[in-house]
Every structure is written in structure tokens, then in C-alpha cells.
Structure 1
Amino acid sequence: MFVAYMKEPATRRFLLIVSSMVLILSLIVVLVHGDRLLLGDPVKLNNDDVKYIHSAKVLLHEGMLVYNSGNAPSAFIMPGLPLILSGWMAIFGDQNGVTAFRVFQCLLQALCIFPVYAVARHTFNHRVGVITALIAAVYLPDYFTSGSVLTEGVYRIIILMLLCSMIAALHSKKTLWYVVVGLWTGAAAYFKPQASLFPCMMLFLWLVYRYSFKEIVRFTFAILAAYIALLVPWWIRNAVTFGDFILFTSSAGSPFLLGTRIKYQLPPPGFFAAFPQYDPQTIFAGSDGEAIAKGLDILKYGLVHEPLKYMYHYTIGRFYSLYMVPFYLHDIFSIKKSFVWAVQDILVCGGLIGMVWAFIRKIGKPLLPVLLAIVYFTGIHLPFVAMSRYGYPMFIFFALFAGFAVDQALAILQKVKTHTREVGHDAKSTGYHTGL
């Protein structure tokens, strides 16, 4: 898919120009802002980014993955970011390694332009691909991400490449492409485990494209085999270190329980009267098993006593938190969050309009991969904590549909101008438009 597009000289030239612009701007952001984009204090270790830096240093110098565990080994997080960051530190030193990692993220942001264009063009056409690539090039949260030390920069390009691989596998029916799908899924799991079930969406695509049962079994095995092969080192490490099988992570603090908090508040006062075994001081503490039971009790009480409030929280509220709030946690060149927030609202609303428009136009099968990605990654976050950081990798698909809406609006304007010109020409040629 992408290789075919890159054979077109004009397309190749356009993408290289846009990606180069993104790279230059990203590098400027990194060099000008530097550590000012950190969210935490490197001494206090009070946010994810500084904890990642600390983990990478310990991993490099002591060969041990730690996170929220002092000097003891941890399975609190997936190891993807500390592994990459420690690699840059090994080459350039602890401090310069962080800068090198940021430069690496700048390159990833620039490279994202290519799969963004490819997915948009496959879904719609060349002009939508161009519009979407331009939106991606000026989207300010991307430049914040370039300078941050978080998982989102690497994770987003992995998701884009995973989606491109799924599209290529779907149309080629080649086992190798399905192995690539499994490998990209495994790579995504090393940063965010919630991506692991995304290839399940292939089952729906296989049915739509009339795959045989034999093909479905063969390609499912190819995806699973590649995925398992990539995750085996992590499972072995956990078994050796902790004497137990840990599929992904083992952490305190349940995203499911924390997701029951509305505006970060405690459950309603009546909840503690109805469930006296819980205490406001300890309700959000405890093991994962206890946390799930607590979360279910909070939901049970909330849906009975404040059903509209809780239904809103788990539907529109979740969507708003994921997509309507920009992942822009520090101002870039004094551009305020209020401006970025307004742009975010316009693009997401434009994307929703584009989705409806695409359904009206009955575009059909090419829409499915992107729509399934939005449905999957939105749905998988609904029961849990939802925030802009989790919605950020999916924003580009709303930009894609916004690009389609812009494309359709331009087409309508062009038709109106052409029609007006033709009417004016006809009136003039017949003597009716005389100016008298």
C-alpha cells in the first residue's frame, strides 16, 4: 500500500517536505524547551516521566527494572520505554541520553506523516491524505510529545504501523504480513498492554472480506505465534524474578477502581453508609482483587442512586476526557492551552461530522479499519481511567475524518463556483446579463 504511493514522485516529494518540516520544528521545540517540558521533579520522582528516566538509569547501571519500588525489581510498568531510553543513555550518557531520546522522538513524529497519509489515502483518496498529513504537521500536542519523556510518541507510531500492516495483510492474504501484525502488536504491548486485543478486530474484517475458515485459522495462528514470541522474554524475566507468571504488569492501584471516580471525587456519602466495610481514607487502596470488588460496589450504588450521572460519566464523559481534551501539558512557545483546546474541539467535532458524512456517502469497506480502531481503543478505555494521554494516539483518526469533511466541503464549494460561473456565462451569451 505505502510502497505503491511512494512510487508517485509528487506524493513522495510532498511527504518528504512535510515530514522534514515536522522534524525541524520538533527539534527546535526539544532544543529550546529541553527539561522544561518535564512534568515531574527528577529528585522527588513525582511523575511518570522522571520515574521513567530513573528506571532507565537503574536498568543501564544495575541491570534491574525498577518503578515505584525503590531499589527492588518491579513489574509495575511494561519495559518498553525504559529499554529504549537506557539504550540512548548507554550511547550518550545519562543526561545527553535523555536529549538523544527526545531527538529520536522528533524523528518518529516526522516519520508518522507517512503512515498517516497512507491510511487516509487508503480510506478515502489522495486529497484527504494530503489534508490529514497537513493537519498532523501543525497539531501542537505532537510537538509537546516530541519533547516529553513518555510512552505516547513511540506508541502512536507503533499503532499506525500496526494498522497499516493489518490493511496490507487483509488485502494481500500473505502469512508474512500477519506475522508482522503479531510483531507490531507485541511491540505495542511493551508500552501499553491494552493494544494486545486490537487484532481481534481482524475477525470482523475477515468475515466482511469473506475469508475461508482455513485462512482465518492460519492467519490467527501467525499473529499469535509472533505476538507470543515477542512477549516471551518479558514472561521469563517475571517468572525468574518473582517466581510467578505475570502476563503484563503487577501494580497497586486499579485503573478500574480509579475510573469510578467522577471529577476525582470520593463516592457519594451515601455509599459509605450502604457499604460500611469501606472507609473514605482507604477506599482506593489495596490489592487488584479487592479493587475490582470495590469498583463494582461503587458502580452498583451509583447506577441505582445516581444513574444519569454515572451513565454520563461512562459514556459522554469518557469520550470527552479521551478526545476533547488535548494532550498538551506544557505550553510550546507560549501558545496557551485554551487555544489548543479550541482547535482540538474543532477537529474532533469535524471528525464526527466527517464520519456521519462518510456513512451518508456509503463509502463502505475502506472505512472499516479506522472505524474499528476508534471503536476498539475507545471501548477498551470506557471501564477504566480515561484521560487525554490515553486518547492522544487515536486523535489522528478523528483528524482523518475531519480531513474528509474538509475535502467534501471544498468539493461542494468548487461545484457551486463552477455552477455560478456557468450560469453567468450562459446569461451573458444569451444577452440576459447586460448590466442594465
Structure 2
Amino acid sequence: MFQFTGVDSLNEYQRKVTHVYGNEAEQMRFKWIYLILLSALAIRLYYIFGNSFPPLAEDAMFYSKMAKQFLETGILGYNSTEPNSFVTPGFPLVLSAVYGLFGTAQLGFQLTQVAFSVLTIWVVYRIAQKYLSETFSLISAACMAIYPGFIYSNGLLLTEVTFTLLLASFLLLLLEGLQRGRSSILIAAGVLLGFSVLVRPTPAILVLPLVLYFAIQLPSKKLVFRALFYVGFSSFIVVLPWWIRNSLLFGEPVLFTTSGNNPLLWGVHPYSIGWENTFYSIYLMDTTELERNALWGDRAKEMFLSQLHQAGFIKWFLIGKLNAFWRIPWVENGEIAHMFGKWRNPLHLLFVAGGWLGLMASVWRKHAIAWLALVIVIYTIMHQIMLPIPRYAYPIMPYMIIFFCYGMSQLYDAVNKGVTKENRHAL
């Protein structure tokens, strides 16, 4: 059985921190994180100011129009002057807030995302610190600092950078809340969960597996129920206005969006061939949003069942989707994604292959870090069912990097152990 190795009280936590950072040598090591964060900031600023970005297109253009429209009229409508629920409101509201503060030029939001990206590195470093030595925690931060996908994404007006920060922050505060048993931290975790769901609904699917995992692993069932209450209630309060708005708009509940079946429809087209024709044949119909979403779902189910007997479809569904999801990093625009271009694919494959090996080793060894495997595995399965493109693997790459560093730490320990044995025999 896995063992949860979190601290049980604030005092114990403080003693551990004092133990780690109590001497001058350890304090010097601690300062390395600031150097890594400053380097990450410099790399991202160099990338933003060193490129001329093309005009916005597709999703980015529609998000930008939606944010501007909200500032002018208060209407949340994706690619429409009428209110709709085609996408969740979190990202357009963040974008509109930045537009309101800094103007509507791309640069203002790009620099905001640079700040989000650097902050994400620190958050993931804090998660890594709980399970890895300081050296390997710093290595995980350094890997994130130079991972090309985490650099390129700052130039794009898309959800990934914002969502990745919110998801990582939720996971960190959830862990802190469970370790320290403080209601305020669990409430903050729930607020972040609610905001992350409003940016992209996928975290809602992660909640139940995480609850079940901690219910099994934690000795205090009371703490699990407290966490479930505080996190659930605070996230509910955050999402509630969206549910009320949708109920008033449509006359019936809409949990997240009226386009939820679109990824399902896309996912039943092997290698995405013919997807656009199927999508637009329904999208252009004279139907309501809810009817259109139902038609997408019906068509996805029909196509799935009709292809189940085809060996090519089964191969795509079981192997092709995994390959499409993990094989290459997310690169939205190859013309401007040149920084570390030669490293891009090899570095990605190294982190992914090493991350999966580290993940499997953590499960095999029943290490406490294995709870993060749930995030990666559930997310991967979810996109095996829906749409498997590298863009949707982006938010869980930080945890792949943590598992890559965990695997390296295990290898390092094994080598050191072998060297020690050899030295003993030599004596």
C-alpha cells in the first residue's frame, strides 16, 4: 500500500523546514531556485521581444473578440454577439481583465503569461520538494525553465498557460491542506479548482479519483471528509454563478459548455481525417446550442459503433491516439517556435519516456509521489476517449518532468549504492 508521507501538523512542518534550511550550505542551495526563475524569465522575455507574432487566428482570435465584447457590452459570447456557452468563461474573463488594465495589444497578455509561466515553475518546484531531494527539485525547475513548449506558449492567446498554473496551484494547495489539516488552505484549494474548471472543465474529472485515492491512503478519514467538504463547497461557490447564468439562458442546467461533445466527435475520426466536414455539417444547421451539442454526441456515438469492427480504427484508438498525444511537443506556430528548436523534440521525448519510467517505478515502489500518477493516467485516458493532440498534453508535462527527475534520483541512488558496495569490498 502507498504511504502518505506528508507532515501531520504545522509544528512538524516548521521543524522539517528548519532542518532543511537551517544551515548556511542549505540556504545557498535554496537560492538556486531564484537563479532558475530569473533565467526562465529572461528566456521568455527574450522570446517574446525577439519575435514578430502573426495576427490572431482561430481560437485565439475568437477568445480575443469575446474578451473585447465583454468589456464593451458585458456579453459572454464565443464567436457571437449573442450570449452563449460554447466555451467556459474563465479564460475570456482573465483576458478581458488584462485588456482592461494594459490595452488590447497582444504584448500585454503575452507578458502576463510570462509571469504565469514563471510562477508555475515555482509552484511545481514546491510540489517536487515534498518528494525529491533539493537537488532533484531544482533540476525539475530547470527542466521546466528550458522546455521549449513552456516558452512558445507564452506568445499565444490560448488557455494553456493560465490553466496549467491554476491546476498546479490547486494540486499544491490540496497537498498542503491535507498535510497541515488547515481549513483555510483547503478552501483556497477549492477556489483554485473552481477557477481551473472555469478555464477548462477537465479537472472536474480528476476530483473523484483523487478523493478515492486519499480516502484509501490517509489514516484519518475525518480529514478526508473535511477536505472533501471544504474543497467541494468552495469550488461549488466559484462555479455556481456560471450554472445560474446558464440555467437562466437556456432554461435548463448546463454544467460547463454547449460544445462538450465536439472533442468526442473529433476523437472518432482516425488521424482527424474528415473531422471538419462532420463538424461543420452539424455546426451550420439551424439548431439551438443544446440541440447542436446533442447532434455532435449522437454522431460521435454512431461513428464509434460503426468502426468498432475495423482493425485500423482499433489500432488508432488504442495506439494511434497515445502516439498522437505524447510523441511530439505542442507547437502552435512553427514559424516562430525556433528557440531551442533542435532540442525541442528530443527533449520532449526524453521527458516523456523518462517520465513514464519514473511514474511506473514510483507505483512499483509504492512511493508517496505516486498520487501524481493519477493526474497523468486519468488525463491520458480521458483524451484517449476524446481528442488526443499535443496541446492537451501540455498541462500535465510538469508532472512528467517531476517523474523524470524522480526516476533520475532513483538511478542516482542505485549507482551510489553500488559504488559504496564496491568500496567496501575494496577495503
TM range (shorter): 0.7 to 0.9
Q: Alignment RMSD, CA only?
A: 2.9
Alpha-carbon distance in 1 for matches of 2:29, 2:168:
19
Counterpart for residue 30 of structure 1: 48
Shift in CA distance, 219/343, structure 1 to aligned 2, threshold 3 Å? closer
Alpha-carbon distance in 1 for matches of 2:293, 2:194:
24
Shift in CA distance, 247/117, structure 1 to aligned 2, threshold 3 Å? same
Measure how far apart 1:338 and its partner are: 6.4
Shift in CA distance, 134/220, structure 1 to aligned 2, threshold 3 Å? same
Question: Structure 2 residue aligned with 1:80, among 90, 97, 100?
Answer: 90
Letter in 1 for 2:317: Y
Measure how far apart 1:22 and its partner are: 0.7
Shift in CA distance, 305/216, structure 1 to aligned 2, threshold 3 Å? same
Counterpart for residue 289 of structure 2: none
Cα offsets for 1:128-149 (capped at 9, x unmatched) = 2122111111101111111111
8 Å CA contact 1:328–1:337 kept in 2: the answer is no
Alpha-carbon distance in 2 for matches of 1:123, 1:412:
17
Say which is worse superposed, 71-80 or 386-395, in terms of deviation: 71-80
Alpha-carbon distance in 2 for matches of 1:165, 1:140:
27
Letter in 2 for 1:30: I
Alpha-carbon distance in 2 for matches of 1:47, 1:279:
18
Alpha-carbon distance in 1 for matches of 2:49, 2:175:
37
Measure how far apart 1:116 and its partner are: 1.5
Counterpart for residue 380 of structure 2: 378
Shift in CA distance, 18/335, structure 1 to aligned 2, threshold 3 Å? closer
Query: SS of the residue aligned with 1:251?
Result: coil
Aligned pairs for 1:338-417 (under 5 A) are 339-360=343-364, 362-364=365-367, 366-414=368-416
8 Å CA contact 2:166–2:192 kept in 1: the answer is yes
Query: SS of the residue aligned with 1:304?
Result: coil
Query: SS of the residue aligned with 2:272?
Result: coil
8 Å CA contact 1:121–1:127 kept in 2: the answer is no
In structure 2, stretches of 5+ residues that fail to align are: 1-6, 8-12, 22-26, 286-291
Cα offsets for 1:355-375 (capped at 9, x unmatched) = 233345x243x1232111112
Measure how far apart 1:159 and its partner are: 1.0
Counterpart for residue 290 of structure 1: 295
Cα offsets for 1:229-269 (capped at 9, x unmatched) = 101222233344444432211138621111101012249xx
Shift in CA distance, 118/363, structure 1 to aligned 2, threshold 3 Å? farther
Query: SS of the residue aligned with 1:393?
Result: helix
Measure how far apart 1:198 and its partner are: 2.0
Measure how far apart 1:202 and its partner are: 2.0
Letter in 1 for 2:63: Y
Alpha-carbon distance in 2 for matches of 1:23, 1:335:
14
User: How many residues are aligned here?
Assistant: 400
Cα offsets for 1:19-66 (capped at 9, x unmatched) = 111111111111222524xxxx44xxx411121111111111222122
Cα offsets for 1:75-130 (capped at 9, x unmatched) = 111111221111122122222xx312111111111112222222222233323212
Query: SS of the residue aligned with 1:94?
Result: coil
Counterpart for residue 301 of structure 1: 306
Alpha-carbon distance in 2 for matches of 1:415, 1:220:
42
Q: Does 1:206 align with 2:211?
A: no
Q: Does 1:59 align with 2:70?
A: yes
Higher-RCO chain (CA-CA 8 Å, sequence separation at least 6): 2
Measure how far apart 1:187 and its partner are: 0.8
Q: Does 1:103 align with 2:93?
A: no
TM normalised by structure 1 equals 0.82
Cα offsets for 1:302-352 (capped at 9, x unmatched) = 22233xx33332333222222222012234573475641222112111112
Q: Does 1:325 align with 2:336?
A: no
Aligned pairs for 1:161-172 (under 5 A) are 161-172=169-180
Cα offsets for 1:251-307 (capped at 9, x unmatched) = 38621111101012249xxxxxxxxxx99994787622222222222222222233x
Shift in CA distance, 24/336, structure 1 to aligned 2, threshold 3 Å? closer
8 Å CA contact 1:325–1:341 kept in 2: the answer is yes
TM normalised by structure 2 equals 0.84
8 Å CA contact 1:322–1:392 kept in 2: the answer is no
Question: Structure 2 residue aligned with 1:19, among 12, 23, 37?
Answer: 37
8 Å CA contact 2:362–2:370 kept in 1: the answer is no
8 Å CA contact 1:60–1:90 kept in 2: the answer is yes
In structure 1, stretches of 5+ residues that fail to align are: 268-277, 427-436
Letter in 2 for 1:321: A
Cα offsets for 1:387-426 (capped at 9, x unmatched) = 1111101011111121122233334444566667777x76
Counterpart for residue 275 of structure 1: none
Query: SS of the residue aligned with 1:246?
Result: coil
Shift in CA distance, 34/102, structure 1 to aligned 2, threshold 3 Å? farther
Counterpart for residue 133 of structure 1: 141
Alpha-carbon distance in 1 for matches of 2:185, 2:315:
40
Alpha-carbon distance in 2 for matches of 1:154, 1:244:
29
Shift in CA distance, 114/334, structure 1 to aligned 2, threshold 3 Å? closer
8 Å CA contact 2:77–2:83 kept in 1: the answer is yes
Counterpart for residue 10 of structure 2: none
Counterpart for residue 163 of structure 2: 155
Counterpart for residue 151 of structure 2: 143
